[in-house]
C-alpha cells in the first residue's frame, strides 16, 4: 500500500479521498489554485502545494505542475478525482513516465473509451448493444445533416469528448440542425478542446441507467449493480439513486453482463461506469437498452453505490492501484436497501438553473438522522467559504440510505428540509419539490421529467405573513439583549424597547416591506405589516423560527426553502441613478462568446443578442423588449456579475439579463 498520495483535484472529491486515505494510514498532498488557498481540502491534507492562478487552465489542468508537486513531496501515486485531468490519457502517460502511479485505468483504456464515436464502434465489435446513430470520423455539416435525416428526427448532437451534458443539443427539425451544431461545437471546444460530434437517435422516453464496474490488474472484473441517473436538467444529473426503480432480475442481469463485457473488452483496471440509455416507453425490457459511454473514473454519484453495497470505492481504487486484487468477488457483493444522492448547487432554478456565486455566510446540514436511515454529507466547503465563478458551483452531495425506496424518499425530503444555506441562491427547494413529485415518487422517471414539470418544480411561493414577521423580529433585535443573535432566546419579562413599536424596513426582491414590531407583556411579538401583506398580527415565536443573520440580510428557513430579506442600512443613501435603465446586465460572471447584433441594429423582443459562456456552459442573452442597440459588449470580453452587456436607445427598465 502507498504511504503518500497526491490528489490532483479540489472540493468535495478531494476531501472524500483524503478521508479514506487517512483511515487507511496513507498521507495526502493537496494541490490548490489562488482561489483555493484556504479551502477545506487544503486544510484537511497533510501537505499542500500551490500550483497556479484561479482559472483551471493555469492550475488544475497543469499536469506538469501537478507531477512536479508529487515528486517534490515524495508522493508515490496521483489520485485524479473526477473532472479536470481524470480522463486525460496524455496525463496518465506523463505520470507513469515520471515514475509515479496513476490511481485509475491505463492510458490505453482511457483512450479506448475517451471518444464516444470510437468507443461505440469498439462496443459494437464486443457485442454490447449501441444506440442507433452516426459515429464516424467525417464532420462536414452536409454529411452530418444528411445522417440526421437518415436517423430520423428528433436527433441528439453530442460532443464526442467529455460529458456532463456539455456540447449536447436535441434537435427537433432539420431547420434547427445548423444552429444547434454550431452551438454544440463551440461549447465542446471550450470544455474539451475538441469540437467533433456524433449524431444519435433521440429516444422518446429515455432513462439513464449506469452500472458501476471495477477491475484489477489480474484480469478480474466485477459490477456493483446499477444506479438510475434519469433525473437531469440540461443533461446534468440532479438526483441519483441505487438500485434503479422498476428493475427486474432479468433486466439487471442483461445490463450488468453487458457492462462487465464492455470493461473486459479494454482490459479495464480501476473504477469505471458503463452508462446506458434505456427506452422506458414500455417498461424495462432486456432488448431496449444501449451503450452510451464509459466514464473511466470515479463518478460524482458513487456514494449511492457505496451505501447499497457496503463498500468504499476509494479504498478499492487505492488497493487495486497498488497491485492488490479486488477486495471482493462478484458473489460477495450484496445489494442492500435503497439510497439517494441529491446534488446541492449554488444556482437559481427559477431562472433556468442559472449558476450562482456568493459567500456561504450560513451553512448547516442535518444534524439528526431520520429513524432507520443513514444520512451522509459530502462537501468541500465550510461556512464563510465563497462559491467561485472559476469552478463547478456544487456545494454538497446529500446522501440517504435506508431499507427501501419509499423510506429513502422520506428520509431525503426530511434531510433537505433541515438543510440551511444562506449567502447564495441554492437549489434545495427545487430538490425537495423533485423528491416529492408524484411521478418521481412512483419511479416513473425519465430524462425529460424535470423539463416537463420544470415550472411546477421551480416555483417557490412568496413568503407568508408569518415568515415576514419572523424576519422583521430578527431584524429588530427584539426579545434578547444585544449582542445576542437569537431574539427568541429570552422572551420572558424583557423587551429592550418595552411596548414601543419599532419600525423595520425589509426588502424581498423588488418588494419593499415596512413592519412595526413590539413586544407584548406576555412575551409575544406583535408585528404590523404594510399592505399588501397581512394586517396587525400577534406572532408567538416561543418555538423559534429557523433564521440566519448575515451582513445586511436575514434568511428565514421554511422546510427546504430559504427566504432572504435585505435589511437596508438606514444611514445609507440609495443611489437612484438610472445606471440600469435601458440596459441588460450580466446575470453571472462569464465570457462574451458570440455577439449577434451591432450598434444601431433594431431588435425585437426575444431576439438573441449575444452568448455568454459561464462555467463552460453557453447562455443566450435575449432582448427583453423591442428596441435599438446603442451599445453592446465586445466579443471575447470577460465580464463580472452585473456588468452592462447591452444598452438600448429607447429607455426600458430591464436591469438584469435572462439567460437560456
- Residues forming the active site: 297
| Rounded Cα distance, 281 and 341, in Å | 25
User: Cβ neighbours of residue 220 under 8 Å, at least 6 residues apart?
Assistant: 325, 326, 329
| Rounded Cα distance, 24 and 77, in Å | 15
Q: Which residue from 287, 285, 317 is spatially nearest to 299, judged by alpha carbons?
A: 317
Are 277 and 203 in contact by the 8 Å Cβ rule? The answer is yes
Residue 462, φ and ψ in degrees, nearest 5 = -65, 155
Q: Which residue from 203, 205, 197 is spatially nearest to 178, judged by alpha carbons?
A: 197
User: Cβ neighbours of residue 192 under 8 Å, at least 6 residues apart?
Assistant: 159, 161, 162, 166, 167
How deeply is 51 buried, as exposed, middle or buried, from its count of CB atoms within 10 A (0-12, 13-18, 19+)? buried
Q: Which residue from 349, 369, 445, 449 is spatially nearest to 411, judged by alpha carbons?
A: 369
How deeply is 57 buried, as exposed, middle or buried, from its count of CB atoms within 10 A (0-12, 13-18, 19+)? exposed
Q: Which residue from 250, 198, 251 is spatially nearest to 228, judged by alpha carbons?
A: 251
User: In what side-by-side order are the strands of the sheet with 644-648?
Assistant: 583-585, 644-648, 627-632, 602-603
Neighbours of 369 (CB within 10 A): 15
Neighbours of 361 (CB within 10 A): 18
Are 87 and 9 in contact by the 8 Å Cβ rule? The answer is no
Measured CA angle at 213 (ends 212, 214), to 5 deg:
130
Long-range contact set of residues 505-509: C-beta below 8 Å, sequence gap at least 24 = 505/567, 505/568, 505/570, 506/468, 506/471, 506/472, 506/475, 506/554, 506/565, 506/566, 506/567, 506/568, 507/565, 507/566, 507/567, 507/568, 508/462, 508/463, 508/468, 508/563, 508/564, 508/565, 508/566
Residue with cell 475517451: 114
| Rounded Cα distance, 515 and 527, in Å | 6
Are 537 and 465 in contact by the 8 Å Cβ rule? The answer is yes
Q: Which residue from 457, 424, 422, 427 is spatially nearest to 440, judged by alpha carbons?
A: 457
- Grid coordinates belonging to 588: 453571472
Please tell me whether the peptide bond between 532 and the residue prior to it is cis, using omega within 30 degrees of 0. Answer: yes
235 SS3 class:
coil
Q: Which residue from 235, 255, 145, 166 is spatially nearest to 450, judged by alpha carbons?
A: 235
Amino acid at each position: 500500500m502507498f504511504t503518500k498520495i497526491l490528489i490532483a483535484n479540489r472540493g468535495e472529491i478531494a476531501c472524500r479521498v483524503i478521508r479514506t486515505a487517512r483511515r487507511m494510514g496513507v498521507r495526502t498532498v493537496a494541490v490548490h489554485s489562488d482561489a483555493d488557498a484556504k479551502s477545506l481540502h487544503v486544510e484537511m491534507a497533510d501537505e499542500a502545494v500551490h500550483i497556479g492562478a484561479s482559472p483551471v487552465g493555469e492550475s488544475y489542468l497543469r499536469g506538469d505542475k501537478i507531477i512536479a508537486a508529487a515528486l517534490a513531496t515524495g508522493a508515490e501515486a496521483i489520485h485524479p478525482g473526477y473532472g479536470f485531468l481524470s480522463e486525460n490519457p496524455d496525463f496518465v502517460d506523463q505520470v507513469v513516465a515520471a515514475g509515479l502511479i496513476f490511481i485509475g485505468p491505463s492510458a490505453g483504456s482511457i483512450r479506448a473509451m475517451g471518444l464516444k464515436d470510437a468507443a461505440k464502434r469498439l462496443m459494437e465489435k464486443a457485442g454490447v448493444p449501441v444506440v442507433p446513430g452516426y459515429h464516424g470520423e467525417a464532420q462536414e455539416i452536409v454529411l452530418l445533416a444528411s445522417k440526421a435525416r437518415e436517423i430520423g428526427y428528433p436527433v441528439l448532437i453530442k460532443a464526442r469528448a467529455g460529458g456532463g451534458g456539455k456540447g449536447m443539443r436535441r434537435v427537433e427539425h432539420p431547420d434547427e440542425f445548423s444552429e444547434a451544431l454550431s452551438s454544440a461545437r463551440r461549447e465542446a471546444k471550450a470544455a474539451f478542446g475538441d469540437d467533433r460530434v456524433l449524431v444519435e437517435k433521440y429516444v422518446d422516453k429515455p432513462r439513464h441507467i449506469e452500472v458501476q464496474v471495477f477491475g484489477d490488474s489480474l484480469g478480474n472484473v466485477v459490477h456493483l449493480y446499477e444506479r438510475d441517473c434519469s433525473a437531469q436538467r440540461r443533461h446534468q444529473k440532479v438526483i441519483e439513486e441505487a438500485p434503479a426503480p422498476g428493475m427486474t432480475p432479468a433486466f439487471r442481469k442483461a445490463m450488468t453482463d453487458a457492462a462487465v463485457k464492455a470493461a473486459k473488452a479494454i482490459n479495464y483496471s480501476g473504477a469505471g461506469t458503463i452508462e446506458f440509455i434505456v427506452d422506458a416507453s414500455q417498461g424495462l425490457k432486456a432488448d431496449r437498452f444501449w451503450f452510451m459511454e464509459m466514464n473511466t473514473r470515479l463518478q460524482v454519484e458513487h456514494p449511492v453505490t457505496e451505501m447499497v453495497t457496503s463498500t468504499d470505492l476509494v479504498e478499492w481504487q487505492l488497493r487495486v492501484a497498488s497491485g492488490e486484487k479486488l477486495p471482493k468477488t462478484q458473489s460477495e457483493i450484496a445489494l442492500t436497501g435503497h439510497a439517494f444522492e441529491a446534488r446541492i448547487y449554488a444556482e437559481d432554478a427559477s431562472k433556468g438553473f442559472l449558476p450562482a456565486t456568493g459567500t456561504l455566510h450560513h451553512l448547516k446540514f442535518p444534524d439528526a438522522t431520520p429513524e432507520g436511515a443513514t444520512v451522509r454529507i459530502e462537501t468541500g466547503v465550510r461556512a464563510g467559504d465563497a462559491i467561485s465563478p472559476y469552478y463547478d458551483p456544487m456545494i454538497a452531495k446529500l446522501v440517504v440510505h435506508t431499507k427501501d425506496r419509499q423510506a429513502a424518499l422520506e428520509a431525503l425530503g426530511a434531510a433537505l428540509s433541515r438543510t440551511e444555506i444562506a449567502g447564495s441562491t441554492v437549489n434545495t427547494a427545487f430538490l425537495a419539490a423533485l423528491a416529492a413529485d408524484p411521478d418521481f415518487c412512483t419511479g416513473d422517471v425519465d430524462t425529460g421529467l424535470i423539463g416537463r414539470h420544470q415550472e411546477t418544480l421551480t416555483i417557490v411561493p412568496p413568503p407568508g405573513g408569518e415568515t415576514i414577521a419572523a424576519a422583521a423580529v430578527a431584524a429588530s433585535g427584539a426579545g434578547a439583549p444585544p449582542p445576542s443573535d437569537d431574539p427568541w432566546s429570552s422572551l420572558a419579562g424583557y423587551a429592550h424597547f418595552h411596548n414601543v413599536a419599532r419600525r423595520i424596513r425589509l426588502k424581498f426582491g423588488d418588494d419593499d416591506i415596512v413592519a412595526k414590531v413590539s413586544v407584548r407583556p406576555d412575551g409575544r411579538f406583535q408585528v404590523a405589516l404594510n399592505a399588501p401583506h397581512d394586517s396587525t398580527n400577534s406572532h408567538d415565536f416561543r418555538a423559534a423560527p429557523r433564521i440566519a443573520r448575515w451582513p445586511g440580510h436575514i434568511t428565514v428557513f421554511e422546510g427546504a426553502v430559504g427566504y432572504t430579506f435585505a435589511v437596508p442600512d438606514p444611514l445609507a443613501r440609495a443611489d437612484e441613478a438610472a445606471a440600469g435603465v435601458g440596459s441588460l446586465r450580466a446575470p453571472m460572471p462569464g465570457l462574451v462568446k458570440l455577439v449577434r447584433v451591432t450598434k444601431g441594429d433594431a431588435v425585437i423582443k426575444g431576439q438573441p443578442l449575444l452568448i455568454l459562456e459561464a462555467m463552460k456552459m453557453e447562455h443566450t442573452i435575449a432582448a427583453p423588449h423591442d428596441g435599438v442597440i446603442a451599445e453592446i459588449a465586445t466579443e471575447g470580453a470577460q465580464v463580472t456579475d452585473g456588468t452592462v452587456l447591452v444598452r438600448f436607445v429607447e429607455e426600458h427598465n430591464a436591469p438584469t439579463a435572462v439567460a437560456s
